[in-house]
Structure 1
């Protein structure tokens, strides 16, 4: 009996060991089969040029493979009743689904957004509630936006799927903008449109293609309302471009004698509003232009008036070259009306535009202050009137007001770095180098008057 019991125990232990060995082999077989299927999915299940959709579909198929592997192991390795387990798990899934309703909603919304592709990483989107930012991350549950304030906003995918959104980065990065200007009806609408178009053409920020558009929106006894449409290279240029357009509109309106209209809610009587017959149009005199330029703010009223008395008026026709690249101008030139384009390039037939000068801008300071030739060719793109201040009139003020010399050196340094990549330290070093050059020119010897004979343009007198 003892021998029989020993044999039974040995057979039982041997059967258990064999069952464990067979079960482990089956378990490893199912696991390796799942891994092999997952490998095939990762390699062959791809969408051409659609990595996000491919990754999403791969994750869904891989998840289904893992679930199938788990059920197969329970049924064929452990002999569990899979049907009963599925029926029982269905009740558990309902309870779990109700508890995770919001999370599951975010997951399925994320799947829908990924397949629909309304945006990709790096796109700038604007939601219907006003939220806007650049997409920096998307996952199963949420989408992260980097706002203009450099804050990251995490939006649940279910919330994002319910809102309307505008993708301003699609189909291209350039972004369209518009501003509305109201001007007093003191001149014909055609003249107003020409002045607004000149303001757009003198911009250094907006795109040239497609060309900006001026549209007269409304006309009544109180105002001429004009819409300006233009495009910028990307969303980040919206604020700088809008600020520049408003500044240029103000400059050109003042130069052309246009007045801004009163707000629609103003209580001014109709009889008090200016019209084409009664308007007292402002005249842009040299003293008014000098007062409007921040560089001359250090001068006293008497010094400004004395400087304005020395001004000479010069005019240029459209297409005239005011100064070529490398040519040294002996005077400071202040733009009164018109647009001047800055160009670079050895070939006159294909010059590269690098900037524009509008009314109130000045040039010629490189030759007047530092004895340096112009860094670009200056060409008149319309009828241009400039006020000229020569070195003999300007130099004593520059020596008496060193703060003005510093401001001019900063402007000159920025002008010389136009079109290049200069760091802040290099800009500062350039500013001090220019100050030293100005001291070298002005201090050692008495000022000499440089003749303006032979200069292009028509001199009209002081």
Structure 2
């Protein structure tokens, strides 16, 4: 039976001994930071009612996780400056300390920039689309700058890296033409303000629905009345003819034709129709501010025709609005004795037709 080599165990103990105290400090600092972060977040949620899209919200959202970073920085600083450890470990912990500081600052800057951009989009009269594509690009650019700063501190020259990225970027661009085309098509859609989140669109290729997001490659839409999501490449949308039912205004006018008998009291018909329209709007679409209208249009073959003009706050709300209005108007006309006539045709056969001639 082979004997255990106790010299190897002694070597491991000699290697791990300088690391015991620093690692204990790091884990202790991390535990304190996580605890503080949870307590602060709980207190903010409990005592502050912060509205999304304000400076307070941007600041607090950017500072999430900062207590963890701060306690970790304090622990690393304590290790580097107060504990007697080998120079190699001191240099290692110095690198880690600098990396934690830079990445923490980078994270706060990225969140702040994204928050300010989103807040500007919400408040801007131009109403640029608020999508994940913009936030993704901004985050990648800011974090890339932070990584370059860290590499420069490590003594790694970033000039060759940038040169290699430039040369490699050309090769990648050739290999990923379709992906890059989708990215730039998505940017074009956002900056040209052709689409916004929550717009209802219809493409010349037949797809239609409400826009839920514009990502770096796809635009997702949800058709009216369905729970399924349609994913369309940005390039396809940019090259299609788009009908945007939410521009220049999100609300839209709905014209519903109605006819009543010739012996009807038209003033009473108008009064009843407006009452029904207001009742349906208050029940189905409370965000509508425009009043419904009734406009008599023509003397038809068997009825006096008019149009009821309703406003819907969203394109896909019109279907439920029409559905409820037609049911409610038919029921109310029957209660009030208002007749909705239907065309009557007399068909002559055989001898009756000859006599008619």
Normalising to structure 2: TM-score of the pair? 0.48
Give the structure with the higher percent strand. 1
Query: Which has the greater radius of gyration?
Result: 1
Normalising to structure 1: TM-score of the pair? 0.39
